[in-house]
Structure 1
Amino acid sequence: MNREQMIAKVKAEMPERRWLHTEGVMETAVVLANRFGVDPARAELAAILHDVAKYWPTDRMADMIRDKGLPAELLAYDKELWHAPVGAWVAEHEYGVADPEVLGAIRYHTSGRRGMTKLEKVVCLADYMEPGREFPGVDRIRELSLRSLDEALLAGFDSTMSFLIEKGKRIFPLTLEARNSLLENNR
């Protein structure tokens, strides 16, 4: 499947406003990749597919988590996390993506993880700060991204965790581990 076919297929999986977000993530991922020494083509590929399963019914995603051997612990956390590992499975099995780092960037774009690769960081950060995103602190994240991938991503995780705490929601362990890993690596 070529790039244009992939884009058309992914675009059909989501409402127009989410496709606009995906385009913003694609553009931002390429900029960040060039800034921080990551292959921009791989960053763009992960960005194209990062939300491929975002608008699937939750029961369909839950079934895939159970049936495809994805981490069952996801089911105990916010449904907003589910589309990332499901999307990585779809990218591999339905779109033919074989690059494990691209699949990792899709899989961890919502949660992060300890020891993230630069590509995973780029796609995760692009998802936080693409031009269409508007939330308290996003401008600070964008400013930090001009000089430090890790500092900007840390600010993104801090924002997510503060939001979840404010809403009385559980924090997925990988997100906490990702944040702690960034702190440990930047001492």
Structure 2
Amino acid sequence: MKKIQMEYQNKYLRLSREELVDLMHESMSYRRYKHVLRVEQTALYLADRYNIDMEKVSVAALAHDYAKERPDAEMRDLIISENLELDMLQFGSNIWHGPVGAVLMKNEYQLEDKEILEAIKSHTIGSPTMGEVAQIIYVADYIEPKRSHRGVDKARRLAEKDLVKTVSYITRQTLKHLVKRENKIYPKAVETYNAWVVDN
């Protein structure tokens, strides 16, 4: 995949891309940071392919795991203080970090764009109403080059042809994986499944 260079017009965030990259570098482990850069490149490739706003996609991709390595106690406090869905508290930080990351980016960096915030919020479990930017981040996070889980190659092939079918396939694979492992399933993930798999 050819590397895509981005220069922000600062339509959505007061930070330049370089400043946002530096912020993410400081906010997470090196391993997580490299993952974020790969997701951004994958997302930009898809955005270019499907003619979706590349600056929005870049911001969302770079910020999608902003809260991933925050302490559980900090995330729990934010879920309560920001009046997020309290039923999240019955689940782990893998569910929390998307919504919490969106809140942090809004509060700390005045990120107001609804599509970018939705993409950060829903990148792990999706949502029934994901717009194109959110779909791109959901897919890019799943198929970035270092991912090697079952089904990823099929998802990569699908992503070249049809974004909606890729979202549907990824959602099906994710639910199948959770059921097989007998994991507790967050109800919003079931809503995503019903919207993107059953209805498509």
Same fold (TM over 0.5): yes
Cα 1:119–1:180 change in 2 (3 A) is same
**Contact 1:46 1:103 survives alignment (8 Å):** yes
> Any unmatched runs of 5+ in structure 2?
1-14
Write out per-residue CA displacement over residues 124-167 of structure 1, whole angstroms, 9 at most, x where no aligned residue. Answer: 11111111111011001001111111111112112211221122
Which aligned pairs between 1:1-187 and structure 2 lie closer than 5 A? Answer: 1-183=15-197, 186=200
SS of equivalent residue, structure 1 residue 88: helix
How many residues align? The count is: 186
User: How much has 1:168 moved relative to structure 2?
Assistant: 1.5
User: How much has 1:59 moved relative to structure 2?
Assistant: 1.1
Report sequence identity in percent: 33
Between stretches 68-77 and 138-147, larger displacement belongs to 68-77
Q: Give the whole-Å Cα distance in 1 for the aligned partners of 2:173 and 2:83.
A: 30
Cα 1:72–1:179 change in 2 (3 A) is same
| RMSD of aligned residue pairs (Cα, Å) | 1.3
Equivalent AA in structure 1 for residue 24 of structure 2:
V
**Contact 1:104 1:120 survives alignment (8 Å):** yes
Equivalent AA in structure 2 for residue 174 of structure 1:
K
**Contact 1:25 1:126 survives alignment (8 Å):** yes
User: How much has 1:184 moved relative to structure 2?
Assistant: 5.5
Between stretches 99-108 and 156-165, larger displacement belongs to 156-165
User: How much has 1:183 moved relative to structure 2?
Assistant: 3.4
**Contact 2:63 2:120 survives alignment (8 Å):** yes
**Contact 1:84 1:106 survives alignment (8 Å):** yes
Normalising by structure 1, we get a TM-score of: 0.94
Equivalent AA in structure 2 for residue 141 of structure 1:
A
Q: Hey, which bits of structure 1, 4+ residues long, moved more than 4 A?
A: none
User: How much has 1:116 moved relative to structure 2?
Assistant: 1.1
Write out per-residue CA displacement over residues 65-115 of structure 1, whole angstroms, 9 at most, x where no aligned residue. Answer: 111111111111232111000000011111221111100000010111112
Cα 1:169–1:156 change in 2 (3 A) is same
Partner of 2:4: none
SS of equivalent residue, structure 1 residue 12: helix
SS of equivalent residue, structure 2 residue 109: coil
**Contact 1:112 1:175 survives alignment (8 Å):** yes
